[in-house]
Amino acid sequence: MLKRNVAVFTFTILPCLSSLAGAPVHTAHQEDTAVLQVALISLCQAKNGYVVLSSTTAAPRPADDMGDADESGAFSDLERRNGSAALLPEVLECQRARLIREQEIQRFFDQQSNLANKVSLDDAWKKFYKSFPGATGWTSVSLPGYSPDGEIAIVYMAHYCGSLCGGGSYVYLRRVKGKWKVLVDFPDWVS
């Protein structure tokens, strides 16, 4: 019986594993990290302060629709990939962007708690800035969406800095000679 199991493993499963071992290692996680590092480069190169970067991905706003403006197909993939939240890789943190757990950020802006304790949104922001001295606000980003050929990527980014301060945009990137480059930062909303 043991010989039979070894033979089955040797002639059926082992060849499959061997072919996988020879395949190039290129995971979506690595690609996502490469795209997000380029999309976030302006945060990391800011001259003053730092931004609190949410550790959890953000979904694009449901009302947003690129329609005919996105001929690449990347926006559809962006919506599909961000149907549920995911954790961002820690390598995205830099001197001007500090990765902080989403729950730690949201504790300042919990509407039920703020209403019960009669805390205004302006007061919530004051508490946020007191807890994160030198911060310029907080930012959340989506996982990238990709065109079917994998040459175009899109990332949704939202930055919040006060009760009437913030904005969101879609960053389109293109792979050029194996490296991601920003094509356009398309503003979506401003407060």
The DSSP line for the chain is -HHHHHHHIIIIIHHHHHHHHHS----HHHHHHHHHHHHTHHHHT-SSSEEEEESB--PPPTT---GGG--SSHHHHHHHHTSS--BPPGGG-BTTEEEE-HHHHHTTT-HHHHHHTT--HHHHHHHHHHHSTTEEEEEEEPPPEE-TTSSEEEEEEEEEEETTEEEEEEEEEEEETTEEEEEEEEEEEE-
Tokens of 140: 């959340």
Instruction: State yes or no: pLDDT of 57 exceeds 50.
Output: yes
Report pLDDT for 170: 95
Q: What is the pLDDT of residue 111?
A: 79
Q: What is the mean pLDDT of residues 39-50?
A: 90
Any domain includes 14? no
Which is it for the CA torsion 68, 176, 53, 90, positive or negative?
Answer: positive
What residues make up the domain containing 128?
25-190
Q: Report the length, in residues, of the chain.
A: 191
pLDDT above 80 for 67: no
Q: Span 39-49, mean pLDDT?
A: 90
Q: Is the pTM of this model over 0.85?
A: no
d(CA 64, CA 189): 10
Total domain count, the chain: 1
Confirm whether 99 is domain-assigned.
yes
> What average pLDDT does the chain have?
83
Reported as a pLDDT band with limits 50, 70 and 90, residue 62 is: confident
Q: Kindly state whether residue 128 falls inside one of the protein's structural domains.
A: yes
Is position 29 within any domain?
yes
Does residue 17 sit within a domain?
no
Residue type, 38: V
**CB-side exposure of 56: number of CA atoms within 13 Å?**
10
Asked whether residue 148 is domain-assigned, the answer is yes
**pLDDT for the residue 68:** 63
The 10s digit of each residue's pLDDT in 119-135 is: 899 999 999 999 999 99
Judge whether 175 lies within some domain: yes
**Would you say 105 and 138 are in contact if contact means Cβ atoms under 8 Å apart?**
yes
Please give the distance of CA 75 from its chain centroid, rounded to a whole number: 14
Instruction: Determine the average pLDDT of the residues in 40-67.
Output: 88
Tens of pLDDT, residue by residue over 128-156, are: 999 999 999 999 999 999 999 999 999 99
